[in-house]
Amino acid sequence: MAKAKSLYQKPKGTADILPGTSELWQKVESVARETFHQYGYSEIRTPMFEEFNVFSRNVGETSDIVTKEMYDFEDKGGRHIALRPEGTAGVVRSYVENKLFGPEFPKPYKMFYIGPMFRYERPQSGRQRQFTQIGCEALNSESPQIDAEVILEALTFFKRLGVKNLRVAVNSLGDKESRDAYRQALVDYLTPFKDELSDDSKVRLESNPLRVLDSKDEHDQAIVANAPSILDALNEYSTDYFKQVQAYLDEFDVEYVVDPTMVRGLDYYTHTIFEIMSDSKAFGGGYVTVCGGGRYNGLISQLGGPQEEGGIGYGLGVERLLLLLQEENPAFIPTPSLDLYLVSANETGDKYAFKLMQQLREAGVAVDKDYRGLKLGKQIKEAERKHAKHFMVIGDREIETKEVEIKSLVEERRQRISVPELLADPKSFLD
């Protein structure tokens, strides 16, 4: 018989998260939720699409995300809509729209999110066009302690996953006064090299000079290697703020480097920015960013909120994190399993097993059975396929005596008990 061929395939840059893999995703998300909760964060869920301007005016109209990567379209009502390419802008929009900055709400207002994002970029290992992001935002906050705490929270999350050998890089983009001063200094430095810059950097020099520092072009990198440092352009307030952030990181023995060339890819950042990187073999060598974020003191007012409010947060891609986990801590990866598999010796046993299975589920047991009328030996093979920890055979004798024999599939152990005993305290017999 000819093999069936699928008529349709998933879109390029997407992935099916299949049973057997989804359990790992759930475990990672569970650790994230627990860690966020301990740091005082509550979950927010925002729409997967927003008005185009929520991203274009705040992420940066000249950023790669807006000009090259965003999925945007006009809906049937003539509205310009975009699928969210990142989480922060939508969370801040919700914060402002719902007036969560009011006096009746806690300050800082801490939120986390877990959900799909969309960017049209070249798919590669750990990077898809639809990807899942875990992130957090601490709004109505401007404190070096909060900046340090956000970095500490991210490192705590990685530690609980068993991920080690991480590199933390920090920088400060300063306040508006400092950024304006540095922008001019950078333009003055780069202008004589304009004809030597890559085409992308020539455009960035006119629209957003700081992004030239982020160029991946080797010739651009050689030019910016001798560019003035943004740290030299920071005013007294910005310098003191950044020193306090570093002091708090030092207090908790966080190993980090100050990287004055780091600018991040989003235009709304101010003051503290950071990246957490790994040189795991999962990424083929060399440091790869697995988490990044920073402070954004102007974003809330840009979206209609109070002028004086700021915020800080980070985001990380789950797909890339899973590659890291598989290399760094394979023991973390769970094997989905059942507590018990019911094997039917005959038709009468099958009907009894169906009823008993429902009773066991109500008692909190993960249990399943065969529905195809397989022979006894094949049912036991099916139990092994489903990674069941135990199985028991049900036939006429078991029905008559109301006693069953539970056999372990992970060790040489069996025990005979009554059905009422099993239903009264199933976990004591199945652990």
User: Tokens for 93?
Assistant: 């929009």
Separation of alpha carbons 87 and 295, rounded Å: 14
Provide CB contacts within 8 A for 168, sequence distance 6+: 151, 155, 249, 254, 255, 256, 257, 274, 275, 276, 277
Q: DSSP characters for 349-367? A: HHHHHHHHHHHHHHTT--E
**CB of 173 closer than 8 Å to CB of 262:** no
Which residues contribute to the annotated binding site for L-histidine?
Answer: 86-88, 119, 133, 137, 264, 268-269
Helices (H), 39-84: 52-59, 64
The three-state (H, E, C) secondary structure of 233-276, written as one string: HCCHHHHHHHHHHHHHHHHCCCCEEECCCCCCCCCCCEEEEEEE
Positions at the binding site? 86-88, 119, 133, 137, 264, 268-269
Q: Are 302 and 115 in contact (CB under 8 A)?
A: no
Name the nearest CA neighbour of 312 among 137, 110, 92: 137
Indicate the residue type of 61: E
Q: What DSSP element (H or E) covers 211?
A: none
